[in-house]
Chains A and B, each alone.
Chain A
Amino acid sequence: MAPFLWAAVFAYAAAGVLLLRERRIRTALTRQNASLTTELRARDGELRHLVSTRLPELADSLRNPAVTVSGPLYERELAGTEYARGLQSVMDMFTESAGRAGERADQSAKTTLRAMMRVVQSLANEQQVAISDMQERHDDPAVLADLLRIDHMNAQLGRRVQATAVLCGSWPGQQRSASALTDVVRGATSRIRDYLRVRLYAQMNMAVVSRAVEPVVLTLAELLDNAARHSQPNTSVEVNFQATHNGVAMMIDDAGVAMGAEELHQAARRLSGQQALDIHRLGDPPQVGFAVAGVLAARYGFTVSVDTQSPYGGVRAVVFLPMDLLTRIPAETGAPGAAPEQPAAREDRAGQTSSGLPKRRRMEVAAAVAPSPEPADRPARPAREIAAGMGAWQRGTRSGRAAPLDSEGKEPRA
């Protein structure tokens, strides 16, 4: 009996041990299973989150920097795993390649646009020359009225094209000679739709150096256009100058509505010219004015700000030109308000122009007259003599007509 009993006890003990071990193993397996399930769920969830949320957000953020990309959902569960690192590198590669593709697309769009604008710009220039020729040729006021309208439209067309070209990284084009501040403002006025509303009472004996004329004109034109478009058609847009110790501030005041804080913030960002310009983000219709002003200001070394309120309630745009973009006023354009000068003084100024200052109309006139006294000394040249005879005859006629004049006054005009 005893051996049977012993065997039974042993068998129970063995079974008990086995059972215990079995339970331990099962518990461990269950736990492992649970943790694997949790991890699997985390991975599934994380992958779904990546596809449905993070990548779309990332794609959005490339277009609009204001969008923030959310982080991983199960950061704690997946920390340090190969899986988490894999997902992160997917994100990184996506960002990088999307960024590169965007840049390439932007560059090629700009290049194409620039080339197209160059063609349109040269056409607009040709057209302007044609219009100017017609204005010279036709003396009929009715024709002139039409030509003035066409000229005005062409000037606006040229400005739009130039602005687009500048946004695509091109040069404003058009070489100009140094021009008086008043002419720069009036040149800008020529290129906007509501040019009759611009009032310029200020005068200043300063000129903009040749290389900065076109950029400053374009900047002012964009600001004037903004001012005119954002104010009532019956109000005026005023331009004033203010000399400062290191330059000149040009102020454009409108009587429209002031800008809100968000608008001001965006305007300041665009006007700084620091922000990389994305032509895809200018809106529809594109808001090019401040962007163009910002690009030109940064490139040519002047500043533009719109953060002051105008005394008329609207916006005051200030273009600050430092001294190195300014020069003395070119001769002939003269101080507009200056006292009338004697002809002798004007001759002196014509002399100055040869030292780099641009317009020399008096010289042209003088050149036309010059042959007349010369041939008297050289009878050997009959052609010159004829010219002399003609010149003398012409002068005689004129002196007869202008009898009460002193000879000094007439001489340079012959």
Chain B
Amino acid sequence: MTPRPRRALVRPHVVTGGRAHPTRNVFDLVTLVVAGSGGGPTAGLNPEQRRLLDLCRGGPLSVAEIAGHLDLPTSVTKVLLSDLVDGGHLSVRAPAAPSQLPSVPLLQEVLDGLRARL
């Protein structure tokens, strides 16, 4: 992966309007977000938020992936995401239930399998 452009033309303070604190504290790197069904009016959104919505229309994405696609720091992305969730454009997808996650023995088996093939 090439390094992100660190001298971006549009600086983050303009992207977030000077705000650093997300309006909701529900995001971590692996939180999945998905575009809302309504997809309300996008008139007041800035270009980054529009691109973010475009990205999420393809399916749920993690916060880390979105930040990568937008070339923005994760903390800045969270501010934008909070706004979009507040505006009803996005919703946070419930994390997978523990029972759906692969169990530790299964992961161990996979790891052993990989080692065996090495």
Contact = CB atoms under 8 A, between A and B. Distances in A.
A135 B76 contact: yes
B38 interface: no
Given A135-B73, A139-B75, A141-B20, A368 B1 contact: yes
Contacts of B2: 364
Given A141-B22, A401-B96, A186 B10 contact: yes
A145 B21 contact: yes
Given A135-B75, A413-B59, A333 B47 contact: yes
A187 interface: yes
B7 A361 contact: no
Given A139-B75, A386-B117, A409 B16 contact: no
Nearest to A135: B73
Interface string B2-45: 10101111111110111011100000000010000001001000
A276 to B, nearest CB: 32
A195 interface: yes
Interface in A331-386: 332-334, 336-337, 340-341, 343, 359, 361, 364-365, 367-368, 382, 385-386
A255 interface: no
Contact of B9 (A125, A144, A213): A213
Contacts, number: 139
Given A151-B12, A186-B46, 16 more contacts: A129-B7, A132-B6, A132-B7, A135-B76, A139-B74, A144-B73, A149-B13, A174-B7, A179-B9, A187-B10, A190-B14, A334-B54, A389-B110, A402-B60, A405-B59, A413-B65
Interface in A173-212: 174, 176, 179-180, 182-184, 186-187, 189-191, 195-196
Given A148-B16, A386-B117, A340 B53 contact: yes
Given A144-B75, A386-B117, A132 B8 contact: yes
A133 interface: yes
Contact of B10 (A133, A183, A364, A393): A183
Nearest to A179: B9
Interface of B: 1-2, 4, 6-14, 16-18, 20-22, 32, 39, 42, 46-47, 50-51, 53-54, 57-61, 65, 68-69, 71, 73-76, 96, 100, 102, 110, 113-114, 117-118
B71 A361 contact: yes
A145 B20 contact: yes
A213 B1 CA distance: 26
Given A135-B73, A179-B9, A189-B14, A390 B114 contact: yes
A389 B60 contact: no
B117 A382 contact: yes
A138 interface: yes
B11 A410 contact: no
A162 B11 CA distance: 17
Contacts of B68: 361, 365
Given A129-B7, A333-B47, A405 B75 contact: no
A183 B58 contact: no
B13 to A, nearest CB: 4
Given A148-B18, A361-B69, A135 B12 contact: yes
Contacts of A337: 42, 50
A148 B11 CA distance: 9
B118 A144 contact: no
A145 B46 CA distance: 20
A268 to B, nearest CB: 30
A180 B46 CA distance: 13
Contacts of B14: 186, 189-190, 195
Given A128-B6, A400-B100, A393 B110 contact: yes
B4 A136 contact: yes
Contacts of B51: 332-334
Contacts of A406: 59
Contacts of B102: 397
Of the listed residues B39, B73, B74, B100, the one surrounded by the most CB atoms of chain A closer than 10 A to its CB is B73
The 8 closest A-B pairs by CB, nearest first: A145-B20, A187-B9, A190-B11, A132-B6, A144-B20, A135-B73, A409-B59, A409-B58
Contacts of A410: 58-59
